[in-house]
Structure formats: structure tokens, C-alpha cells
A and B are shown apart, each in its own frame.
Chain A
Amino acid sequence: MTKYILQRLIYMIITLFIIATATFFLMQLLPGSPFNELGGKMTEAQEQILLEEYGLNDPVPVQYAKYMLGMVQGDLGVSFQYDNRSVTDIILDRIGPSAHLGAQALIIGSVLGIILGMIAAIRHNTWVDYSSNVLAVIGISIPSFVFAGLLQYYFAVQWRIFPPSFWEGPIYSVLPTISLMIFPMAICARFMRTEMLEVLGSDYIELARAKGVSNSKIMFKHALRNALIPVITVLGPMTVSLMTGTLVIEQIFAVPGIGEQFVRSISVNDYPVIMGTTMLFSVLFILVILIVDLLYGMIDPRIRITGGKD
């Protein structure tokens, strides 16, 4: 087990190296320079001094080598858009709200979705099932920013129940969380319903019935665990879509999160911050996949990773 995780971590480092390299060279294709934002207030000479200062006049391979060397030592560089703020500092400052929002949306969304899917399966081909199906289709097909706008309009502007934007306390997280969680909820509900129906029709559920086990026990002790296996599979990509989903949602609700920072950095060619944030997203993504793989083994004994005999 430990050996397996170690092996996965080594693969992870290789993957990250490739991502860093690709992003670094792709970033050079961005039009403009970090310092023409100031709208021609700088003279040619001043700009040259700044470019020299930040090492942007070096040939690209040299810049690349310098950056990678720094990254290995844990130094992600200094931001261009803020005075003297290190990228690590900016990320640490901004990660809190994003993590909060993402985790909240993922947990509430998937749990609600699983429950909804189970109910739909138990009551399948009744109005309960049909309405949960309609809800799921709506949730999957309508993008989160549409919900965000609607929620803001009704709950904040019309009825004034929740604040429309900013990030000043738990109540500010309600609307962005709802707009983010609808997608994972809908996906989980769809998958759970299909899987649950299949599991409930299987021989081992019939055997459990033949043992005289009650319906509720069959649901929770026999069916749920087996139906969860494929749902775990979609949870991985869903976590990623939540990460990218936050970019837009954070903009709409003016949440000072990492996604909002990421978008702004791209528009002002703040190379170090773009690099740092991309690396952060990549690390998160790879970790999520690893966690999903480990979860699999916990739920399904057939694919449990054993130490191996060698």
C-alpha cells in the first residue's frame, strides 16, 4: 500500500514537471507585456529597466531554467502586478475562500445528489422519479453562471434574504455554494439512480430479500455501497469542474478567491502568478485522482490494492 502510494507520488512529480514546462512555453505566446498595462505612461527606457529587473530580457530557455530552479526550492517568484508580493503569499491569501466554496459545494451537492438518486430509484416510475429526473437534466444542462444570476436576482435583489456578493462571513457563501453545487448534485443523482436500479435488480439483492432482510436494511447495507462505486468515478472529474466553475462564480459573486485572481493575472500577463496558480490546480487535480483511486479500494474489495508478494 505504502509502496503503491509512493509510486503514485513519483508519477505525480513527473506529471507536474511536464505541466510546468508546457505552461511556461505556452505562456510566452500570450500577447502583450506585463508592463504596458500602465497605458504608455512609462517611457521606453523605464520599461526596459523593469524588463531587465524581472529578468524578462533573458532568452526564454534561461528564464525557464531560472524559474524551474526556483520552483524546486519552493520559490514561485514575485508577482508583477502587486508591489513586492511573492506568488506563494498571494496564493495562500486567496486559496481560503475558494477551498471553502468548492468543498462546501462538492460535499453538499454530492450527498444531496446521492440521496435524491436513491429516492428516485426506490420510487422509480412514479412522479418522484420523474421530477427528480427533470431536476437532474436541468442541473446538468444549464451552466452554473445562469443559476448564479437568477439566485442573485431573486434571493438578493428581490427578496433580500442573502447578500448578493462579497465575502464577509458564512452567509455570503450561501448563494455561490448553491450555484456551484447544482451540477454535481444533478450528476450524482443521475448516476445514483441508474446504478441503484441495476443493483436492486441483481441476484445478491434477491438473496438478501430471501434471507428476510427488511427493505431499508437492503438499501443501506447491501445496495448503497455497490451503487456508490461508479458514482465515485464521476466525483473525480466533477471536483475538477468545480475548480474551473469557481473561476466564473467567484467573478460573479466578487469572491476574493484563487479563480478570480487567476483570471485577472492572465489579462495582465502576470506570468509568475499564472504559473503558480496553474501548478496549484494541477497538484489538486492529481491529488483528487489519487484519492478517488484509494477510495475505490476502500469501497470495493475486488480492486483493493494489496502489497504484492515481491
Chain B
Amino acid sequence: MEPILEVRHLHVVFDTYSGTVQAVRGANFTLKKGETLAIVGESGSGKSVTTKALMGLVAKPAGHIPEGEILFDGKDLTKLSDKEMQKIRGKDISMIFQDPMTSLNPTMKIGKQIMEGLILHQKLSKIEAKKRAIELLELVGIPDPANRMNQYPHQFSGGMRQRVVIAIALACNPKVLLADEPTTALDVTIQAQILELMKEIQRKMETSIIFITHDLGVVANVADRVAVMYAGKIVEIGTVDDIFYNPKHPYTWGLLGSMPTVDNEDEKLMAIPGTPPDLMNPPKGDAFAARNEYAMQIDLEEEPPMFKVSDTHYAATWLLHDDAPDVEPPEAVKKRMKGIAKGSISAGRRIDVE
């Protein structure tokens, strides 16, 4: 499959009173046409900032992109002016936000909020835009769309609002859809519905999706490939099978080990000790070294490069170096992997009661 979006060596920094925060420190990944790439990682790992950078929405003047390229459609998005980015945002690349309760304008009818992008990018007349907006509301599963068009956000439930946000994002048939934790603010039953909706839409519209989440259950459910992000870098990337059945990076082990499954209710969840590094003064060497029980001397001195595991699978850990000792993932993680194989991840997956 051909790539639609390529991120190369992306750096995003924020100037604050106490210093410069390096939120993203050289992220590399590609998004292929029609696939769903999940980016996972804990809070502060740079997931959201990466999507903001893709949208050209890094808050200026504090935030900027000193290095790196975002290649889309033959253009480097980091070099485009505000005006040029406005033409791409919402048309070619659009975004679904995390919290549907706050992401709709409370004083504007939802119909108007959907029509806005259509009139702007596709130069539709008001009547055409209205027709299309009703179709979109129907597509995202809102009953009685013609009447709902004239209502305000407060007249919708959380799940319904997220459907509206999705309709806004889909309005101009974007090539790339960025979903920044679209289900985090919703309750579990609604989460499953929204995920189903997104999968269905992807089938219909062949959009490429970048799905930001910290919920590995959701990842297993929706993604084709997974990128694990830590301290502003992608530390492991591969297909869902690569990451869940053959994880190589100790951080990925930690993430898998801390995920609850239906089977492991009687045992303790593994926790990753310590806290993420201070991105104002990132450590020398591997950023994860301080929390890594398998860390070696070299981890403290030099950053590991991306090692190739297979054609689809890469990981940045010195454990993959030829000279490194063979290390097996901890028992708990292996068990968890078996649990995933049986399909018993609880979160984000619809549990059918029979």
C-alpha cells in the first residue's frame, strides 16, 4: 500500500517560562492509504502534540516545529503558511476531538456547524450544504436528522455529540482522519458504538485514520498497525499482531502488562515503576532506561536506533542488538498475550452476552 502521510524526524517544542519543553523528539512514521494506525502511550508522551502538528495547530507563538517534515500530497506541511494550512484542514485532513461535551460551539446550531466546512471547502450553496449535512447526520446514525439540524449542542447526549463531531470531521471526505482519543470521554457502551461507527465509515469512505489512544483494548479492536510512543519518540511500531504477540520493547511489555483482561481478575496488574522523564531536560541515552529493569549500561549513554524485527516490525531498544543478552518478556506479559489471543480484552470491545 502506498503511503499517504509521512512523518520524518518530527520535533515539536514549547517555550515556557521555565525552559523549552521538547514534546516530540524526532518521531518517524508513515500512514498508508486506507489503514488505521494507532498511536499509544501514556499521558505526556507526545501523542496529541503529534496530531496537532499534523493539523498545523501547534499553539503559537509558544510552540513550534524546529526540525522535521510532514509529507502529505507532495507537500511538506511544516513549511506551509497559515492560509495554505487552512485550505488543507477540514478538507484533506480532519480531526475528531476527545471531549464531545466541550468541542461543539454551544451557541451555534449543529446544522450550521456541519455546513460551515462544506461551504468553505467545497463551495456548496447553502441549500446543497444543508442537504449534504443531513446525509452526514444520517451516516453517523443520528435519527430524525432534518429536525436535529436546527438544535443546539446542549440538546444532544454525549454519544450523539461525538457523532456530530465525527460528521463535522467527515464533511469534506478527508483523506486522513486524526482521532484524538475519540472514545475516552464516553461511557463503555457508547465507546463500542462509536468505534463500530468509525470502522464502518472507514470501510465506506476508505479514509486513512490515525487513532490516538491509551486504551490497548481499543487498539486491538480498531487498528491495523500500532506505534508505541514514549517521551516524544516512537519506540516500537508494527502490525497489531506484531505488537500484541511479539512485543520487543520493554516499554511495550509494561503497557501490555498493565492492561486488565477478563482472565486476570485474580492477579495483580503489573505497573511500570517511576514516572516519565522531564522533557525539559530529556535524559541522555534511552529515555526509558530509568524505569526499565532490563536497562544496560549502553542505555544510559546512547539512544538506541530503530532495530528491524521484521518487514513490518521495528523497535528502538538495545536489547535487539546482536551483542545484547536474550531477554524474554515477563511471565505476566506472556499470559496477557495469551489472553488477547482468546479475545478477552475487556475495554472497547463489545461483549456479547449469550
Contact = CB atoms under 8 A, between A and B. Distances in A.
Contacts of B107: 225-226, 299-301
B104 A207 contact: yes
A212 B106 contact: no
Interface in A257-310: 299-302
A203 B90 contact: no
A221 B109 CA distance: 12
Interface in B119-152: 120-121, 152
Nearest to B61: A125
Nearest to B100: A203
B165 interface: yes
B102 interface: yes
Contacts of A207: 95, 97, 103-105, 165, 168
Nearest to B106: A302
Interface in B98-118: 99, 102-108, 116-117
Contacts of A300: 106-107
Interface of A is mostly: helix
A241 interface: no
B94 interface: yes
A211 B120 contact: yes
A302 B168 contact: no
Interface in B6-62: 55, 57
Contacts of B57: 206, 209-210
A212 B97 contact: no
A209 B154 CA distance: 21
B317 to A, nearest CB: 35
B89 interface: yes
B117 A211 contact: yes
A147 B86 CA distance: 46
A211 B105 contact: no
Contacts, number: 75
A229 to B, nearest CB: 8
A94 interface: no
B195 interface: no
A203 B97 contact: yes
Nearest to B99: A203
A118 B89 CA distance: 25
Given A209-B57, A212-B120, A301-B154, A204 B87 contact: no
Contacts of A215: 82
A204 B105 CA distance: 5
A214 interface: yes
Nearest to B88: A212
B91 interface: yes
A213 B117 CA distance: 7
A206 B103 contact: yes
Contact of B102 (A202, A208, A209): A202
Interface string A197-236: 0000011101111111111000001100110000000000
B200 to A, nearest CB: 22
A211 B169 CA distance: 7
Given A211-B90, A212-B121, A301 B168 contact: no
Nearest to B178: A210
Contacts of A212: 86-91, 117, 120-121
B154 A302 contact: yes
Contacts of A209: 55, 57, 89
Nearest to B108: A222
Contacts of A203: 97, 99, 102-103
A159 B327 CA distance: 90
A211 B121 CA distance: 9
A152 B344 CA distance: 82
Contacts of A225: 107-108
B155 to A, nearest CB: 9
A210 B89 contact: yes
A226 B105 contact: yes
Given A206-B57, A211-B94, A213-B116, A302 B87 contact: no
B110 to A, nearest CB: 11
A226 B102 CA distance: 13
Interface string B58-95: 00000000000000000000000010001111110011
A211 B120 CA distance: 9
Nearest to B114: A211
Given A204-B102, A204-B104, A210 B152 contact: no
A214 B86 contact: yes
B105 A210 contact: no
Contacts of B108: 221-222, 225
A204 B103 contact: yes
B106 A204 contact: yes
B300 to A, nearest CB: 39
A207 B106 CA distance: 12
A206 B121 CA distance: 18
A211 B87 contact: no
Given A210-B55, A211-B120, A211-B171, 10 more contacts: A203-B97, A203-B102, A204-B106, A206-B103, A211-B117, A213-B86, A214-B86, A225-B108, A300-B107, A301-B154
Listed from nearest, the 7 A-B pairs whose CB atoms lie closest are: A212-B90, A211-B90, A212-B89, A203-B102, A203-B103, A301-B152, A204-B105
Interface of B: 55, 57, 82, 86-91, 94-95, 97, 99, 102-108, 116-117, 120-121, 152, 154, 165, 168-169, 171
6 contacts: A210-B89, A211-B90, A212-B86, A213-B120, A301-B152, A302-B106
Interface of A: 202-204, 206-215, 221-222, 225-226, 299-302
